[in-house]
Structure 1
Amino acid sequence: MLIIGLLFFPLQTTTGWILISLLGISLLVASFITYYGSDGSDQMSMLIVITLILCHMPDLAGSKLREVGLWFIGLQACLSYTVAGIAKLVSSEWRSGTAVRDVFSTKAYGSKQASQFLQKYPAANGFLCWNVIIMETLFPLCLFLPWEYAMVFLIWGFIFHFFTALIMGLNSFFWAFMATYPAIYLINHEMPWHLF
């Protein structure tokens, strides 16, 4: 309901700021009462909401503060991808090309069909593992590349999170990380120089 309200009241308005603040409070309360630990999508969602609350406070937030908040969100997303990519790079399971199959074989995040497919085609498992390692590690390049090349990383991220949601049921990762892509777009378009 709060998110629907934000469609009608921009964050720059007092009502919009109250709605995003209520959303932040509800996320905070949910994080305290949930039985299970939070994951990266919960942390990213909380970070985005807190940044929006702080950067859109009535009478305090100017356009420069809002821009700093968007830069923070975009840079945090790139950092999250890179840290995840480096963590996978140092993991022998990811480097050997077995990690994706192993995850799909679990009860919590598994998919019988995906697991069977990767058992039958081990090369696909290796491809998926290295695809994730490379794209996550190099993701910050999207800030510096010309937009037509930077879009490759954002399209990859969309596909990655979409299929993660579809196969593993991790829907919140899709929404949390897609919410950072407009900030990445802004940073890319405000960069004073690009690599090419």
Structure 2
Amino acid sequence: MSLHLAARLTQVLLALALIQQSLEHLSVSPRNRPLFALRIALCAAVAAGVFAPWPLVGLALLSLVLLTRFQGPYNGGSDRMGLLALWCLTLSALVPSPRLKELFFGYLGLQLMLSYVVSGWVKIVNPDWRKGVALAQVFRFSAYPVAESLRGWAARPRLLLAMSWAVMAFELAFPLTLLWRPALIAGLVVAASFHLANACLFGLNRFFWTWLVAYPAILWLQARLV
């Protein structure tokens, strides 16, 4: 996969993810509708590939306005990943040097890998995760719209212990997938399935779309390094 193709795929995926987020705001936030209507228009231009790279520049500048308006990335990790992808794409598109273009875009792929490894490390050093207690609490006390039948999983300690270790092992072993292309593709399928399950079970839909945005970057990075 060439840098141009990978960056273009990332741009389209990011535009679609930001449009989905912006539509949510249009329906519930009248005060901020002009800002999110503008973001939708800029995203449409990015997806269509017109006036490049200026729609990306516009989105990057608009992100600063939104950060000020909401006093930071209010939706946590998914917003941070979206901002990272946006700025990596913008800088990669603006710099004239081919090496700098690769550096900025490759940084997005590197951060995607680290997001899994760091998450796994944070879990495995936590005794509650090693014992399966943390996952039981997620099902028992989560404020997200978990079905009542799924809350019953909190009473199945052996299952939750196995699930906890499966998640931690996958996240910590994720860098090994960079050694072999089929392994990376399989790893990304598993990771996407994990995010999709979280979206369906807990309503974390933004994480699914935003993390998917960075997948072309890590696929390009793996081909570039190996």
Superposition TM-score tier, normalisation by shorter sequence? 0.7 to 0.9
CA distance in 2, matches of 1:125, 1:153: 21
The aligned amino acid for 2:86 is V
Q: Write the mapping of 1:30-109 to structure 2, written as runs, cut at 5 A.
A: 30-34=66-70, 37-57=74-94, 60-109=95-144
Aligned with residue 173 of structure 1, among 174, 197, 207: 207
Query: Which of the numbers 154, 166, 176 marks the counterpart of 2:188?
Result: 154
Measure, in 2, the Cα distance between the counterparts of 1:70 and 1:6. Answer: 17
Is the contact between residue 140 and residue 154 of structure 2 (CA under 8 Å) also seen in structure 1? no
Matching residue of 1:6: 46
Q: Name the CA shift for 1:94/1:26 in 2 (closer, same or farther; >3 Å).
A: same
Structure 1 segments, 4+ long, off by >6 Å, are: none
Shift of 1:34: 2.8
AA aligned to 1:160 is F
Counterpart-to-counterpart distance in 1, 2:189 and 2:223: 17
- Equivalent position SS for 1:61: coil
**Partner of 2:96: helix, strand, or coil?**
coil
In structure 2, the CA distance between the partners of 1:105 and 1:26, relative to structure 1 (3 Å rule), is farther
The equivalences for 1:22-33 within 5 A come to 22-33=58-69
Conserved 8 A contact 2:85-2:108? yes
Deviation at 1:28, TM superposition (A): 2.9
Q: Are residues 95 and 110 of structure 1, via their aligned partners in 2, closer, same or farther at CA, if it must alter by over 3 Å?
A: farther
Shift of 1:38: 4.1
- Cα 1:100–1:31 change in 2 (3 A) is farther
Identity of aligned residues (%): 29
How does 1:118-157 map onto structure 2 within 5 Å?
118-144=153-179, 146-157=180-191
Give the C-alpha shift of residue 102 in structure 1.
Answer: 0.9
Letter in 2 for 1:49: L
Tell me the distance in 2 between the aligned counterparts of 1:90 and 1:123. Answer: 20
Give the superposed CA RMSD. 2.0
Deviation at 1:129, TM superposition (A): 1.0
Runs of 5+ consecutive residues of structure 1 not aligned to the other structure: none
Which structure is richer in relative contact order (CA contacts within 8 A, separation 6 or more)? 2
TM-score, normalised by the number of residues in structure 2? 0.73
Q: Taking structure 1 as reference, are residues 113 and 66 closer, same or farther at Cα in structure 2, changes over 3 Å only?
A: farther
Note the C-alpha offset of 1:40.
Answer: 1.4
Larger helix fraction of residues: 2
> In 1, Cα distance between the equivalents of 2:140 and 2:44?
37
CA contact (8 A) 1:74 1:183 kept: yes
Alignment deviations for residues 1-33 of structure 1 (CA, whole Å, 9 cap, x no partner): 2322212116xxxx2222112222333333333
- Quote the residue 1:182 is aligned against: 216
Give TM-score scaled by structure 1 length. Answer: 0.84
- Post-superposition offset of 1:97: 0.9
> How far is the alpha carbon of 1:43 from its aligned partner?
1.1
Displacement after TM superposition at 1:107 (Å) = 4.3
CA shift for structure 1 position 45:
0.9
